[in-house]
Amino acid sequence: MNIRQVHLYYILAIIFFISFFLQRFAFKIGFSLKCFMIIAIWYSVLFLKNIKISFNTFEKILFLFFIYSITITVFTSYYIENSIRLILGIILISVIYILSKNILCFLLQKGISFKKVIIITALIINLVALILYIIGIYEIGNNFILYERERVYGVLIDRAIPRLIGTFSDPNFFVLANTFFFYYLLFMKKNLFEKLTFIIIVINIILTFSRGGIISLSIVLIIYFVVNLIIVIIRNFKIKKFFLKHLFFFIFLVGIIVFLINEDTLFKEMFIKRINSLSEGSGRLEIWLHGLNFFYNNFLLGIGLYNFLPYNIHYYNNYHYMHNTYLEVLVETGIVGFILYILFHIFLLIHILKMYKINKNYIIILLSYFSLFLQMFFLSSLINEIWFLFIAYISVKYKYLSKIKNENESR
């Protein structure tokens, strides 16, 4: 393979990954970015001679869950038109998932570095998001109340707080999309370019004011730090070296937050607003209780896919989604569907732990998974495309690592 071909594959891979992050972007640019995503996928597929379909255990359970959910929904759904929308979404995301796996395998076979593709994609997405946020703030000025619940370029005004959304419609999904990038860059040895990318990601995550996102990242990092500290003490390693290795990021992050909230600035006011409203949880607790009421009356098979919102509107005049993927699965697919979905997560975690056992560098995948798992307690992301791209990455890497391990053991 010559250098020109390598560069072409790099460009196609970057276009492919970026399309996942831009396809929600509603900015008027003359054409639909959803079409751009589909074109990018099919353009990449042209370089694949054969589409292969093979699944790991966790993938089989996931698709079994989807098949079961679609089947029982036909009998349980009252708002069947809503269910059809999600069923079509499941079919589309399944096709995209299979294509994503094949493209990732193709890149791996051609020796294309995932590292470069991931870092360049992360920088472009976050740089675009920050620029859009700055443009949005300039456009809004100080008229936060006037623009309440409006999306202006890369800004969402929420309770008079300008929250960064970048190319997404929701700041919480922006954090979810950046979770893997965050850990990937945090744990790698960084040059100046990569340090700059990481700093932009951290700044963007803070500017989302996403309590669920920031808390999930913080909890996982704290647990990771404490566990490693305990291991260091037990094994009598040099504690000083350990602290120097792990505390830089915490000092950096905490330093930024302390500096900003100690200054008498608008940021301090907004930060305090988000903390003070933490107990409200954006009304999520009330919504979850509504969901549990529906579950009690339909505990075995659920109320049908994508039926929570119309139920919530009809019975409680509340126009909100569940904002909790696990409760959503429980309420809409019942106990059986919920068990299947949890089994998928258990087997996915088992595969990730096996990867980590083979190569400790895959701590980035393990921590990313835990953070995403926590974030899904506050988001409705059953068929989120970024989540499925993450699963596809795990599947391909697991297969590759298993192959290498078997080859080494057979020698």
What total of structural domains would you count in the chain?
Answer: 1
Is 158 among the domain residues?
no
Give the pLDDT mean for 144-170.
86
The Cα–Cα gap between 168 and 128 comes to: 11
Residue 244 has pLDDT above 70, yes or no: no
Report yes or no: 256 and 206 within 8 Å, Cβ to Cβ. yes
Quickly count: other Cβ atoms within 10 Å of residue 403's Cβ.
10
What 3-state DSSP class applies to 130?
helix
Tell me the two tokens of residue 81: 């038109």
Mean pLDDT of the 240-249 span:
58
Over residues 219-240, the pLDDT tens digits come to: 898 888 888 777 767 766 665 5
Average pLDDT over residues 59-82: 94
- pLDDT of the residue at 28: 44
In this model, does residue 29 exceed pLDDT 50? no
Best CA proximity match to 105, nearest among 52, 60, 158: 52
Element (H, E) at 217: helix 211-234
- Residue 27 reports pLDDT greater than 60: no
**pLDDT band at 252, cuts 50/70/90?**
low
Q: How far apart are CA 307 and CA 85, in angstroms?
A: 11
Amino acid 183: pLDDT = 93
pLDDT for position 180: 94
pLDDT at 273 over 70: no
Q: Is the pLDDT of residue 265 over 60?
A: no
Give me the mean pLDDT over the 62-77 stretch: 94
Q: Regarding beta strands 151-152 and 155-158, do their DSSP bridges make them parallel or antiparallel, or are they unpaired?
A: antiparallel
Mean pLDDT over 46-63 rounds to 82
| CA pair distance 142, 156, nearest whole angstrom | 14
Helix axes 192-207, 114-140, angle to 10 degrees: 40
**Rounded distance between C-alpha atoms, residue 164 and residue 153, angstroms:** 9
| Residue 105 maps to a domain | yes
pLDDT at 59 over 70: yes
pLDDT digits (tens, 9 = 90+) for 291-323: 999 999 888 999 999 999 999 998 898 888 888
Which is more confidently placed, 284 or 266? Answer: 284
76-123 pLDDT per residue, tens: 999 999 999 999 989 988 988 888 888 888 888 877 778 888 899 999
End-to-end Cα separation, the chain, in angstroms? 28
Is 6 within a domain? Answer: no
Report which residue type is found at 21.
Answer: F
Does some domain include residue 315? yes
| Per-residue pLDDT at 158 | 85
DSSP 186: H
- Of the chain, the percentage scoring pLDDT greater than 90 comes to 38
Looking at the domain assignment, is residue 17 inside a domain? no
* CA 173 from centroid of its chain's CA atoms: 7
pLDDT of 332 over the 90 cut: yes
Residue 322's domain comprises 48-109+281-411
Mean pLDDT of the chain: 82
Distance CA 365, CA 391 (A): 10
Cβ(325)–Cβ(377) below 8 Å:
yes
Q: Name the more confident of 271 and 27.
A: 271
Question: Does 291 fall in a domain?
Answer: yes
pTM: 0.87
Is residue 149 one of the residues assigned to a domain? Answer: no
Q: How far apart are CA 311 and CA 294, in angstroms?
A: 8
Helix axes 239-262, 266-276, angle to 10 degrees: 110
Kindly state whether residue 300 falls inside one of the protein's structural domains: yes
How would you label 28-54 residue by residue, b for 16+ Cβ within 10 Å and e otherwise?
eeeeebeebbbebbeebeeeeeeeeee
Contacts of 108 (CB under 8 A, 6+ apart): 114, 396, 400
The larger pLDDT score, comparing residue 270 to residue 199, is at 199
Q: Read off the pLDDT band of 57 (50, 70, 90).
A: very high
pLDDT value at residue 130: 94
